[in-house]
Amino acid sequence: MIDQDLKNGMQKIASKPIEWDCVLAPFTSFGIGGAADALVEVTGRDELCQLLSYCNKHVISWRVIGRGTNLLVSDKGFSGVVFVLGKGIAQIEIIEQSTAATVCIRVGAGCSLAKLLHWCIERSYAGLEFTAGIPGSLGGAVVMNAGAWGYEIGECIDSLSVFSEKYGVEDLARENLDFGYRIWNNQKNEEWSRVVLLADITLQCGNKETIQERCRDYSKQRKAKQPKVSRNAGSFFKNPEGDSAGRLIEASGLKEISCGGAMVSPVHANFIVNTGTATSRDVCKLMEIVMTKVKKDSGVQLIPEVHIL
């Protein structure tokens, strides 16, 4: 619980009214989850860093989230402050037209991947087509090292501007970035947690029609393979090396099994969907059932890709 003095202190720093006791379900693609003590939409980087420092100083738990498209929020909610990044942390700017063939851009962590891709297409910049149809923000994509069709966002990043209580605002150059499969290894250790503020990305100057065609093709393939109407968080489990989680789940006969309102999608077995009434508890129970059965049948230990809050 955050007492009134601390609430007043936070509100003094925040430029927008803070939402106290705010239900998080609408901030996630699953549409599941209880309330956070506070939800703050920050409008600028300085404001975010000041608020994070305030929380750290007063031992208030916090979490920065993006569009909540890879997030399962507990039914009990989150005891602490959730930060979402507003428009002031979502700009895209050209920082260097290095050669006729490449351009370097700087993107705020709150920018949606869809907006970024649209911006690139309009200017005929190639390199991010693989993100077509991946929902979420750039910050979330960095933390998840989001990827598709053999490409990952980590490969596109030249440098990141990040904030942590221990180091303040730092610029991390490419050679110091450590991305793995659906993980950004620089984010956390026991003493600190890093927040993504900005990313510099180099793109190739290309042909608009070719770029558009590639995006259309990726989107078409995605639409054919993924559930269309239900709420979900994308692939629930990471693919084990050399195999696919969806194939293993299907081979275990788990397609369409359900737990309360949560169901293994009949369209793609690696999608757990909220059929309308799912709780976080339902999803977690279903996750356990899937992991246990797959382990028993194939010996593979599935690892969730979705982050739990």
Ligand X SMILES: Cc1cc2nc3c(=O)[nH]c(=O)nc-3n(C[C@H](O)[C@H](O)[C@H](O)COP(=O)(O)OP(=O)(O)OC[C@H]3O[C@@H](n4cnc5c(N)ncnc54)[C@H](O)[C@@H]3O)c2cc1C
Residues binding ligand X: what is the number (CB under 6 A)?
A: 30
Task: Supply the minimum distance, in Å, between the C-beta of residue 84 and ligand X.
Answer: 8
By CB under 6 A, tell whether 143 contacts ligand X: yes
Helices (H), 149-279: 208-225, 245-251
Q: How far apart are CA 91 and CA 115, in angstroms?
A: 10
> What single-letter amino acid sits at 309?
L
Residue with smaller CB distance to ligand X, 226 or 298: 226
By CB under 6 A, tell whether 234 contacts ligand X: yes
Q: Which stretch binds ligand X (CB under 6 A): 31-39, 67-75, 203-211, 243-251?
A: 67-75
Task: Supply the minimum distance, in Å, between the C-beta of residue 64 and ligand X.
Answer: 4
By CB under 6 A, tell whether 233 contacts ligand X: yes
Task: Supply the minimum distance, in Å, between the C-beta of residue 263 and ligand X.
Answer: 15
Which residue of 35, 60, 62, 68 would you call a contact of ligand X, by CB under 6 A?
Answer: 68
* Local structure of residue 26 (DSSP, 8 states): G
Among residue numbers 241 through 300, which ones bind ligand X (CB under 6 A)? none
Residue with smaller CB distance to ligand X, 165 or 297: 165
Check if 235 is active-site. yes
Which residue of 2, 10, 38, 64 would you call a contact of ligand X, by CB under 6 A?
Answer: 64
CB-count burial class (<10 Å; 0-12, 13-18, 19+) for 170: middle
Instruction: List beta partners, residue 106.
Output: 93, 200
Instruction: List beta partners, residue 231.
Output: 274
Residues 6 or more apart in contact with residue 112 via CB below 8 angstroms: 67, 90, 135, 136, 137, 138
By CB under 6 A, tell whether 139 contacts ligand X: yes
CA angle 73, 276, 132 (to 5 degrees): 70
- Among 78, 123, 82, 118, which Cα is nearest to 103's? 123
By CB under 6 A, tell whether 195 contacts ligand X: yes
Check if 241 is active-site. no
Angle between helices 208-225 and 113-122 (to 10 degrees): 150
- Summarize as ranges the residues that interact with ligand X (CB under 6 A): 29, 63-71, 109, 134-137, 139-141, 143-144, 146-148, 195-196, 226, 232-234, 307
Residues with catalytic roles? 182, 235, 305
